[in-house]
Amino acid sequence: MTVEAREARQPWILLSPALTAVALLLLVPLAFIVVYSFWLRTSTGADQVGFFLDNWQEALSDRFYRDILLNTLKIAAITTIVCALMGYPAAYVVARSKGNKALLLLLLMLPFWISYIIRTMSWINILGVSGAINSALLALGLIGEPIQMLYNETTVILGLVHFLLPFMVLNVFVSLEGIDRTLEDAACSLGATRWESFIRVTLPLSLPGLAAGGLLCFVLGAGTYITPLVLGGPTDAMFANLVFEAIITQLDWPLGSALSLMLLGVLGALVAVYNHFLGMAQLMKGLG
Amino acid sequence: MSAVQLTDIVKQFGTFTAVHRMSLEIPDGGFVTLLGPSGCGKTTTLRMIAGLLDPSEGEIAIGGRRVNEVPIHKRNLGLVFQNYALFPHKSVADNIAFGLRYRNVPQAEAAKRVREALELVQLPDVGDRYPKQLSGGQQQRIALARAIVIEPDVLLLDEPLSALDANLRESMRVELKRIQHRIGVTTVFVTHDQSEALAMSDLIVVMSDGRIEQVGAPEEVYNTPATEFVARFLGASNILDGRVSGADGGELTIEAPAIGAIRVARARAPGLDGAGPAKLVIRAEKLRLAAPGALVDGEVAVDGMVETVDYQGQAARYFVRVGGEQLQAINMIDDHPFAEGEAVSVCLRPRDCAALPGGPQ
């Protein structure tokens, strides 16, 4: 075999374990889901094999699903905006810090060492009826009885921000790190104040990172079912909760499959739009 | 256009002192080079003039006005960086026009000035392009155009040529000097490259370890170094330990073991009086190697032996053993170079020598 042929083969040899895993654990199950979505759950509870459009018709035409989908997108959008507003300044501080950058980055990664579910549940100990805040206020005599702070849309967003903020910070950080600092000096020497040079130079150059962070926050936020389950009230279900409900509670796999594909389609379209304008390379940079 | 005056400038970073009580006058319209090895404080000094760093002590004045408290964006300076620092998301024309926006220049006037600046740097047709589409040399021209279009009081150049390759660097050097001469702006140029400094400057400020070693015209700094550091940093020099053995009206006699007694003009030996230890400085290109015995009038000759030949095409650098010393000689090659091991006469003219105070270290 020639050297060129060996070199051409090498990437495939190295990639094959990962490709096998992706194929077996992602593509094949996804194919099952697609097939499932065209089956039908009969009143007896058994699945009828075939090609039925009933699930799709229900998923796409029922106002209930549409409203929850819109609400899910709304919550994801609010979460993304809050993450951007809170995450950008934090990323800026980390990127511009001189001595302790490694420590700050470590602190940023720290939440990932604790399970997302536990992090979400921790809010119950803080905001709950017998949580830290209520206990403190009761002990101080400022309130007569506990305030109901949990189980509403605000706490769902709070939990999502808590979960997703590091993704935003890391993405913005990576893009700020890639910007030459002398650009700001140059802008200032030409007459711009620090703020003007930030607005005209640094901010536009960091937009790809902000967009990548935003996409991650939005997609992960819109796909979550744990946060609304733990921190939301009965009316705060998000779209993934419907999938959970259909498959786990009602054992209606065909309908659950159709709903999950619907969410996948909406989020996939979003990623495609992002990719069209900004490319996936930026997203990959920030995931590292 | 304005003169720049530094008075007793000190800059400390924590416990490290980058600039030690430096005073310097940069004349209006002059091209002044801060020259020195990395870490000598030249860039720190430039950044203090620019307003990117605050001096720990001392006063900076531009055009007679104290500017210590004036932030960078109000100092009206043109700053050119080593890495160009062009805004990658803006077109060349928008890069150049960036500073005009803060000077209330009307649109039409701004467009005209951008066009003129592009013509000045001889790149009239690249306004619509983006920095990435230009070569390094072109980018540096645009950076220069961006800095001068605002008609700065002072132009500050921080190693602007060192990212360019050798040939381009030499042509940009001529170009830069031409532009500076034409607009007549007071210019402070920072470099570690002695040939850039010698070629471009009206005045060279040689710095080392945060201190000024010497300030002078290129020829003065080259021919009459004030310190051993300057002698070693600029050009290739032979520095021989010796002592002053005699003095009369205009000349000092310096006795150096390897060479013997040499009479050096007092003007070339500032800082020396009639006695004491001294160092004899002879530029490598002023040592002439010749076949033994071939002495020219007015020359002093000693016997030597060629140890190493560094052939450079038009010239050769020889390392010659003379007594206990190894001397360096750079000679144009006539016919063919001397061979290693060849016995030669090492000839020098006393008037090419300079002397410094100082004993053996």
DSSP assignment letter at B103 = G
Is residue A41 scored above 90 in pLDDT? no
Region B186-199: mean pLDDT is 94
> In the prediction, which pLDDT does A198 show?
95
Q: Are A286 and A170 in contact (CB under 8 A)?
A: yes
What residues in chain A have their Cβ under 8 A from chain B's Cβ atoms? 180, 182-183, 185-193, 196, 200-201, 204-205
Tally of domains in chain B: 2
Q: pLDDT tens across B24-48, in order?
A: 999 999 999 999 999 999 999 999 9
Residue B233 CA, distance from chain mean position: 10
Among B201, B223, B245, which residue terminates a domain?
B223
Same domain for B247 and B326, yes or no, is yes
**Torsion of the alpha carbons at B201, B205, B208 and B214, rounded to the nearest 10:** 120
Spell out the domain ranges in chain A. Answer: 62-287
> In the prediction, which pLDDT does A71 show?
94
The strand pairing partners of B283, in sequence order, are: B237
β-strand pairing of B57-62 with B251-256? unpaired
* Residues sharing a CB contact under 8 Å with residue B355, sequence separation 6 or more, in sequence order: B244, B252, B254, B264, B268, B269, B272, B278, B279, B280, B281
Q: Chain-wide mean pLDDT for chain A?
A: 90
Q: Report phi then psi at A246, rounded to 5.
A: -65, -45
Among B164, B196, B223, which residue terminates a domain?
B223
Is residue A45 scored above 80 in pLDDT? no
Q: Chain-wide mean pLDDT for chain B?
A: 91
> In the prediction, which pLDDT does B194 show?
92
Same domain for B139 and B288, yes or no, is no
Same domain for B240 and B207, yes or no, is no
**Cβ pairs A/B, distance under 8 A:** 62
The strand pairing partners of B157, in sequence order, are: B80, B189
What band does A288 get if pLDDT is binned at 50, 70 and 90? Answer: very low
pTM over 0.80? The answer is: yes
Interchain pair A190, B102: CB under 8 A: yes
DSSP assignment letter at A145 = S
CB of B313 within 8 Å of any CB in chain A?
A: no
Chain A: nearest CA to B87, how far in angstroms? Answer: 7
d(CA A26, CA B192): 58
Same domain for B264 and B286, yes or no, is yes
SS3 call for B127:
coil
Q: pLDDT tens across A175-208, in order?
A: 999 999 999 999 999 999 999 999 999 999 999 9
d(CA A278, CA B37): 43
Is residue B361 scored above 70 in pLDDT? no
Same domain for B59 and B207, yes or no, is yes
The whole domain housing B344 covers 236-357
SS3 call for B29:
coil
Look at residue B230 and tell me if it is in a domain.
no
CATH number for B246: 2.40.50.140
Interchain pair A185, B102: CB under 8 A: no
CATH number for B213: 3.40.50.300
Q: Which of A39-53, A228-242, B90-104, B336-350 has the highest mean pLDDT?
A: B90-104
Region A100-111: mean pLDDT is 88
Region B251-276: mean pLDDT is 84
> In the prediction, which pLDDT does A284 show?
60
Structure token digits, residue B169: 């660097």
Q: pLDDT tens across B83-110, in order?
A: 999 999 999 999 999 999 999 999 999 9
Starting from the edge strand earliest in sequence, which strands make up the sheet with B16-26, in order?
B16-26, B4-13, B57-62, B65-66
> In the prediction, which pLDDT does B274 show?
74
Among B195, B223, B251, which residue terminates a domain?
B223
Region A110-116: mean pLDDT is 87
> In the prediction, which pLDDT does A47 show?
83
Fold of A62-287: MetI-like fold (1.10.3720)
Nearest to B73 among A192, A200, A201 (CB): A192
What band does A282 get if pLDDT is binned at 50, 70 and 90? Answer: low
Look at residue B158 and tell me if it is in a domain.
yes
Region B113-127: mean pLDDT is 93
SS3 call for A236:
coil
Same domain for B345 and B243, yes or no, is yes
Interchain pair B85, A201: CB under 8 A: no
For tokens 């929850």, the residue is A68
Q: B89-112 burial string, b = 16+ CB within 10 Å, else e?
A: ebbbbbbbbbbbebeebeeeebee
CB of B13 within 8 Å of any CB in chain A?
A: no
Interchain pair A186, B77: CB under 8 A: no
Q: pLDDT tens across B134-148, in order?
A: 999 999 999 999 999
Nearest to A180 among B75, B85, B147 (CB): B85
Is residue A283 scored above 80 in pLDDT? no
> In the prediction, which pLDDT does A281 show?
65
Number of Cα atoms under 13 Å in the Cβ half of residue B249: 0
ipTM rounded to 2 decimals: 0.84
